[in-house]
Amino acid sequence: MGLLEVIHEQAEFGFTGKINLLNPSSQFLGVVYLNDGFIVHASYKNQRDKKALFNALFDDLDNLEIFKFVVEPELVHDDLLTMKMDFSFLKSKLQSDYQLYQDSKKLKPPAHLHLCIAPEIIVNEEELSYRDFKILETMTVYGKVSDI
């Protein structure tokens, strides 16, 4: 049973509590909180909320991570009510986003390639947008495509 099925099963009957995401050796990887059947918070690999939830779902769908699930009923503290998503919205959003994710993976260059900044950008002192700057920053921090 995958993460999507576990969330669906718990959302069906209005579960309040958390679904712990563990690896096969029972090491904690993340958690999804539900309140009255609505997804209200998630954390996974140092990410939070929707980004964490969708990355965990993508990893599960791509079999990049093998999850064990521990479902624990508990009261959800107000600090964890950072979003409110019902299962039908999650499923429709996942279908569209997962297709975009698969399409973008096809465009990813081979992992062994080294990243280099085109010297013209520096020599010509071109005006950079914030997005371009963040890309250049990432390229200087990480040396290979596989590092990103």
CA torsion, points 3, 4, 9, 13, in degrees to nearest 10?
120
**Structure confidence by residue, pLDDT tens digits, 27-72:** 999 999 999 999 999 999 989 999 999 999 998 988 888 899 999 9
For residue 41, what pLDDT is reported?
Answer: 95
Q: Judge whether residue 6 has pLDDT over 90.
A: yes
Rounded distance between C-alpha atoms, residue 28 and residue 130, angstroms: 35
**Residue 16 CA to its chain's centroid (Å):** 22
Residue 18 pLDDT level (bands cut at 50, 70, 90): very high
**Does the pLDDT of residue 147 top 80, yes or no?**
no
pLDDT at residue number 32: 95
Do the Cβ atoms of 91 and 54 come closer than 8 Å? Answer: no
Reduced to 3 states (helix: H, G, I; strand: E, B; else coil), residue 36 is: coil
Position 142 scores a pLDDT of 80
| Token couple for 100 | 């975009």
Q: What pLDDT is recorded for position 127?
A: 80
Would you state the pLDDT for residue 73?
Answer: 92
**How far apart are the C-alpha atoms of 50 and 34, rounded to whole Å?**
13
Pick the more confident residue, 147 or 114.
Answer: 114
Query: What strands lie across the sheet with 47-48, from one edge to the other?
Result: 47-48, 38-44, 28-35, 17-22, 68-73
In tens, the pLDDT along 101-139 reads 888 877 778 878 888 887 877 777 778 888 888 888 888
Neighbours of 60 (CB within 10 A): 18
Residue spans of beta strands (DSSP E) within the chain: 17-22, 28-35, 38-44, 47-48, 68-73
Q: pTM here?
A: 0.71
Q: What is the mean pLDDT of residues 62-87?
A: 88
What mean pLDDT comes out for the span 69-91? Answer: 89
